[in-house]
């Protein structure tokens, strides 16, 4: 038994590789279906969900490749409130609370940005916030300060402030009657203005530079200064009700995760993962239906012959001559952006090729002597087709099925790339469309392009390899 199996694998290397690839895809599909909730899948298009991730970061393992070249990209680092050392000073009329994060920085490049999200429950008197950075060379910069008075005074019109926390303003906003949500961005004008005061320390003009390129820079030249940095977030509170919550320090990196992130800070690996079941679903549904329709259409038109058969052949001819892609585009402009609609479209234009093949075969089989014999024995046409012709055609149909899966997958990705994809089902084609729209290929965000395209190719190749070796098996079986 094992000997037979090894021989089968040896004779069909392509089919074996295809099966392995398919197994890998199945594992991804099962993981995506059973371990990723619908809710987190829907968060793909929600930019706030991804706000703690770095923008267009390369995969983490890219640093391993860069190591021999003596170059390291800054890693993404998130500190939570529990990581901070808290130091409280109680005075008579106020309380100072210092939250200190210490960050070890040893990279050859500046981090692209940092931000500090926080949440404060207000008491009667609004507190004062200050952010300091202590550098390895013992310089200390005050980069941000805000007395939350303006926020608490604007309590009445608090409803317009809800969706404000994702654009690049550091202005804290009220989320309910006494909670303030804020985020200090390194790119904000507040931070840049407070850094402008330290211009004298540096031996180069800092006016045009962004905040992280000043804070992490050596004083004599604009190159990164390695060492231990301390970020101090201080709260001056004037009553006991003021509580600081959910404080974080996010140092944006240039490497993140298994496959990096895209322009909207989304994890590319997550997109790949949730795209797998969709791609397989499209491919398999389309292939299954079109080979099923093709089988019976071809059978009927081949077996009956005569005028109906000729007419059915002409219909196939017309369908085959249609310039499918252009028609897809024109129809999609009008109805598009729906997954089920796309699948229907692919089925509509997918079956004629299969039907033509099945027709040719059924004409061949029809003229075999044993069919004529069973006709003479008085078997009904229906029975003959079902018992003698369909079993002969099934292996071919199986091969056809495998070979039409990649056509559907490639077609879907091409249409998604044109912007006709269903936005509620993120697919690999849509990821590539977004990459192209942000001109990822000219900016060199290779991780954003390589992985979705590679997945499309792997899926198609798996089915092509399986289909080909099935075809060979059928042919060999015939010869014997």
Rule CB under 8 A: choose which of 410, 438, 472, 473 binds other proteins. Answer: 410
| Residues 102-121 contacting other proteins, CB under 8 A | none
* Nearest CB to other proteins, comparing residues 123 and 453: 453
The pair of structure tokens assigned to 120 is: 């404060």
Count the neighbouring beta carbons within 10 Å of the beta carbon of residue 228. Answer: 12
Rule CB under 8 A: choose which of 442, 477, 479, 480 binds other proteins. Answer: 442
CB 132 within 8 A of CB 232: yes
Nearest distance in Å: CB 271, other proteins: 15
Tell me the Ramachandran region of residue 450: left when phi exceeds 0, alpha when psi lies from -120 to 50, beta otherwise: alpha
**From CA 186, how far away is CA 165, in angstroms rounded?**
14
The radius of gyration of the chain's CA atoms, rounded to the nearest angstrom, is 32
* Residue 69, strand partner residues: none
CB 177 within 8 A of CB 155: yes
**From CA 459, how far away is CA 463, in angstroms rounded?**
7
* Nearest CB to other proteins, comparing residues 124 and 441: 441
| Residues 201-240 contacting other proteins, CB under 8 A | none
423: Cα separation from own chain's centroid: 12
Rule CB under 8 A: choose which of 47, 305, 423, 444 binds other proteins. Answer: 444
* Nearest CB to other proteins, comparing residues 225 and 456: 456
* 158 in contact with other proteins (CB under 8 A): no
User: What backbone torsions phi and psi does residue 236 show, to the nearest 5 degrees?
Assistant: -95, 110
Rule CB under 8 A: choose which of 450, 472, 473, 474 binds other proteins. Answer: 450
Nearest distance in Å: CB 342, other proteins: 16
* 418 in contact with other proteins (CB under 8 A): yes
CB 122 within 8 A of CB 152: yes
Judged by CB under 8 A, the stretch of 23-31, 194-202, 375-383, 457-465 that binds other proteins is: 457-465
The pair of structure tokens assigned to 339 is: 């997954």
* 414 in contact with other proteins (CB under 8 A): yes
* 44 in contact with other proteins (CB under 8 A): no
* 441 in contact with other proteins (CB under 8 A): yes
Which stretch of DSSP H or E encloses residue 101? Answer: strand 95-105
Rule CB under 8 A: choose which of 453, 472, 473, 474 binds other proteins. Answer: 453
Judged by CB under 8 A, the stretch of 76-84, 172-180, 234-242, 405-413 that binds other proteins is: 405-413
Residue 467, SS3 per DSSP = helix
Site string for other proteins, 7-36 (x = CB under 8 A): -------x----------------------
Binding residues with other proteins: total (CB under 8 A): 46
* Residue 349, strand partner residues: none
Rule CB under 8 A: choose which of 169, 210, 457, 472 binds other proteins. Answer: 457
* 323 in contact with other proteins (CB under 8 A): yes
Residues 6+ apart with CB under 8 A from 156: none
Spatial CA neighbour of 186 closest among 103, 112, 109, 114: 114
| Residues 299-318 contacting other proteins, CB under 8 A | 314, 317-318
* 461 in contact with other proteins (CB under 8 A): yes
Largest Cα separation within the chain, whole Å, is 112
Rule CB under 8 A: choose which of 291, 413, 427, 430 binds other proteins. Answer: 413
Judged by CB under 8 A, the stretch of 89-97, 161-169, 232-240, 454-462 that binds other proteins is: 454-462
* Nearest CB to other proteins, comparing residues 53 and 413: 413
Nearest distance in Å: CB 459, other proteins: 8
Spatial CA neighbour of 349 closest among 332, 373, 374, 367: 332
Spatial CA neighbour of 405 closest among 448, 468, 453, 362: 468
* Residue 231, strand partner residues: 101, 133
Nearest distance in Å: CB 107, other proteins: 21
Residues 6+ apart with CB under 8 A from 206: 195, 196, 198, 199, 214
| Residues 328-347 contacting other proteins, CB under 8 A | 329-331, 333-334
CB 107 within 8 A of CB 74: yes
Rule CB under 8 A: choose which of 8, 86, 139, 322 binds other proteins. Answer: 322
Residues 6+ apart with CB under 8 A from 356: 298, 316, 320
Which residue shows structure tokens 């409130």? 81
* Nearest CB to other proteins, comparing residues 1 and 330: 330
How far apart, in Å, do the first and last CA atoms of the chain sit?
A: 21
Rule CB under 8 A: choose which of 23, 61, 325, 368 binds other proteins. Answer: 325
* 446 in contact with other proteins (CB under 8 A): yes
Which residues of the shown chain bind other proteins in the complex (CB under 8 A)? 14, 314, 317-318, 321-327, 329-331, 333-334, 406, 410, 413-414, 417-419, 432, 435-436, 440-444, 446, 449-450, 452-453, 456-461, 463-465, 468
């Amino acid at each position: 038994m094992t000997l037979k199996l090894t021989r089968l694998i040896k004779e069909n290397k392509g089919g074996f590789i295809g099966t392995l690839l398919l197994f890998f895809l199945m594992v991804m599909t099962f993981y995506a279906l059973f371990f990723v909730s619908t809710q987190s899948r829907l968060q793909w298009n929600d930019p706030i969900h991804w706000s703690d991730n770095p923008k267009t970061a390369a995969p983490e393992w890219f640093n391993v490749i860069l190591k021999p070249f003596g170059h390291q990209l800054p890693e993404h680092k998130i500190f939570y409130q529990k990581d901070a050392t808290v130091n409280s000073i109680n005075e008579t009329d106020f309380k100072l609370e210092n939250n200190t994060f210490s960050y070890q920085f040893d990279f050859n490049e500046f981090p692209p940005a940092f931000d500090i999200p926080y949440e404060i429950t207000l008491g009667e008197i609004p507190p004062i916030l200050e952010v300091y950075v202590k550098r390895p060379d013992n310089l200390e910069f005050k980069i941000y300060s805000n007395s939350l008075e303006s926020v608490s005074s604007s309590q009445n019109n608090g409803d317009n402030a809800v969706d404000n926390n994702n654009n690049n303003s550091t202005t804290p906003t009220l989320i309910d009657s006494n909670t303030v949500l804020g985020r200090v961005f390194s790119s904000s004008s507040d931070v840049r203005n407070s850094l402008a005061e330290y211009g004298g320390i540096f031996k180069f003009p800092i006016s045009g530079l962004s905040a992280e390129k000043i804070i992490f820079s050596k004083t004599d030249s604009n190159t990164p200064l390695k060492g231990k940095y301390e970020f101090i977030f201080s709260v001056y509170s004037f009553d006991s009700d003021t509580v600081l919550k959910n404080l974080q320090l996010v140092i944006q990196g240039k490497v993140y995760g298994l496959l990096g992130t895209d322009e909207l800070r989304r994890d590319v690996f997550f997109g790949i993962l949730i795209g797998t079941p969709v791609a397989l679903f499209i491919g398999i549904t389309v292939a299954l239906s079109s080979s099923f329709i093709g089988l019976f259409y071809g059978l009927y038109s081949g077996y009956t012959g005569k005028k109906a058969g000729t007419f059915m052949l002409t219909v196939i001819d017309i369908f085959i001559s249609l310039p499918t892609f252009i028609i897809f585009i024109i129809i999609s402009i009008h109805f598009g952006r729906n997954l089920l609609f796309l699948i229907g479209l692919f089925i509509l234009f997918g079956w004629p090729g299969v039907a033509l093949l099945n027709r040719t075969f059924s004409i061949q089989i029809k003229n075999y002597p044993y069919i004529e014999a069973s006709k003479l024995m008085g078997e009904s046409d229906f029975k003959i087709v079902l018992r003698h012709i369909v079993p002969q055609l099934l292996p071919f149909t199986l091969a056809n099925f495998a070979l039409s899966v990649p056509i559907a997958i490639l077609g879907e990705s091409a249409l998604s790339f044109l912007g006709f994809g269903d936005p509620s089902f993120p697919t690999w084609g849509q990821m590539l469309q977004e990459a192209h729209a942000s001109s990822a290929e000219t900016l060199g965000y290779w991780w954003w392009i390589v992985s979705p395209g590679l997945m499309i190719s792997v899926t198609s190749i798996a089915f092509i390899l399986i289909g080909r070796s099935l075809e060979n098996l059928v042919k060999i079986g015939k010869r014997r």
